[in-house]
Amino acid sequence: MTRNSKAGLALIAPLLVLILAGFVLPIASTALKAFDNPEVSAALPRTTVALGQWDGAAPLPDAVPDAFVADLQDAMGNRAFGQMTRRLNFEESGMRSLFFKARRAAPGLERPYAQALAEVDPEWGRIETWQMLKTHSNPYTASYVLRSLDLRMEPDGTIVKVEPEQAIFVDLFIRTFAISIWVTVIAVLLGYPTAYVLSTLKGRMESLALLCVLVPFWISILVRSTAWFIILQREGPINAALQFAGLIGEPQAIIFTRPAVYIAMVHVLLPFFILPLLSVMKRIRADYVRAAASLGARPWQQFLLVYLPMTMPGVAAGALMVFMLSVGFYVTPALVGGLRDQMVSYYIAYFTNTTINLGMAAALSLLLLVMTGVLVAVAGKLMPGMGGKQGARS
């Protein structure tokens, strides 16, 4: 390493630290959390060891129920035990009561424990119950990620679809990306002409118009979403105006519908599209379009063959920004959308705050991140001007 590059490294060191602390570490810890599975081994340490020595095939060695009962006797009033039952109940309902029953009975049990447990509840006599316990005694699990894709692992290790009434996450991801794509498309269609008009204004008009774009930008997303909530509600001004104009008899349900989500999200995100595009448009001198005209291009050709391609980097940058932000949207759909309009972030918040299932929250976050990355990479390959070619040249 030369002296220069050392000095350069020293200069960017604070930045590296910042990136590491603010970006890499949270993502890495989220990724870990999505696979982390400490509950069973924490609550049942001896059982975990015994299960580790078992190959998983029938018959169940006596060491396992022995260790289990010993653990149960220690687990009286233990917090880890409660967390474990919640964890296992998430995998299979009924587990919570099964374990509590066993714990209540534990002090009075007599050897052989396998049989005694089966008498407490026949479930304990089934090899599958123990297999499942073995699966989850592993400190790492794929089950959060699998569940986020509406899949689960059978005790024997095969991966199957979850029951239809539990299969909500694939739909959730599809919905999230569909809403994001539509919001992006609408923002592009509305924002492009707006940015163009803005780019042609001069002097006071320009500052004024820019202010109109920026002022909403400066107001918090929460405030703007709440404003839409008020505007769109049944007794809100839109319904009142439509009724007054005689266009509708009864107030229409606008709030808590998909269109309400689109309206509010596009409004919140439009400046993120307009601003990068505007800066690109401002830098395109009139000469280029004039040159095209002088070379025989009709107005539509001037636009399609020269102006549009030259503004593509701005479109790509703005669209990417809108798309990335909409994928993670939470407040706006939560306020103006119905239950069927909620996006992944809603469930991440739900698992974080309501059910305190951090594994699920982390798995959903991780999948959202990965899918978004893949989608953006694919879009970059397919769309000209969205990176690659343009960037390599300048």
Partner 1 sequence: MSSENPPKEQFVRFEGVRKSYDGTVQVVRDLNLSIREGEFLTLLGPSGSGKTTTLMMLAGFEKPTAGKILFDGQVINDMPTYKRNFGMVFQNYALFPHMTVAENVAFPLRMHRFPKSEQAERVTRALDMVQLHRIADRHPTQLSGGQQQRVALARALVFEPKMVLMDEPLGALDKQLREHMQLEIRALHEKLGLTMLYVTHDQSEALTMSDRVAIFNDGEIQHIDAPSEVYDRPRNAFVAKFMGENNAVEGTVTARDGDVITLRTAAGRDLHGTAVDDLAIGQGAQVLVRPEQISLGGLPADGFDSFEATVADKIYHGDHLRIVLEIAGLGQVTATFAHAEAELHPEIGQTLTIRWRIANALAFAPDGPAR
Residue 162, SS3? coil
CB closer to partner 1, 31 vs 297: 297
305 binds partner 1 (CB under 8 A): yes
Tokens matching residue 370: 């990965």
Backbone angles phi, psi at 234, to 5 degrees: -55, -40
**Coil/strand/helix, residue 13:** helix
Considering the complex, what minimum distance in angstroms separates the CB of residue 281 from partner 1? 14
Give min distance, CB of 320 to partner 1, in A.
19
* Structure-block tokens of residue 150: 């509406």
Q: Which of residues 311-350 bind partner 1 (CB under 8 A)?
A: 312
Give the interface segment with partner 1, choosing from 83-91, 259-267, 268-276, 308-316 (CB under 8 A).
Answer: 308-316
Tell me which of 100, 217, 244, 288 binds partner 1, using CB under 8 A: 288
Helix segments in 201-257, DSSP class H: 203-218, 221-232, 237-244
DSSP-derived 3-state class of residue 160: strand
If binding is defined by CB under 8 A, does position 380 make contact with partner 1? Answer: no
If one asks whether residue 304 binds partner 1 (CB under 8 A), the answer comes out as no
Residue range at the interface with partner 1 (CB under 8 A); choices 115-123, 185-193, 309-317, 318-326: 309-317
Are the C-beta atoms of residues 173 and 151 closer than 8 Å to each other?
no
Nearest to 195 by CA among 277, 93, 286: 277
Distance CA 146, CA 166 (A): 13
Among 4, 158, 294, 354, binds partner 1 (CB under 8 A): 294
For partner 1, the closer CB: 31 or 293: 293
The verdict on whether omega for the bond into residue 59 sits within 30 degrees of 0, i.e. cis, is: yes
Among 165, 287, 353, 382, binds partner 1 (CB under 8 A): 287
Q: Does 292 engage in binding with partner 1 (CB under 8 A)?
A: yes
**Distance of alpha carbon 35 from alpha carbon 31, whole angstroms:** 7
Q: Does residue 309 belong to the site contacting partner 1 (CB under 8 A)?
A: yes
Q: Which residues of the shown chain bind partner 1 in the complex (CB under 8 A)?
A: 285, 287-288, 290-299, 301-302, 305-306, 309-310, 312, 385, 390, 393-394
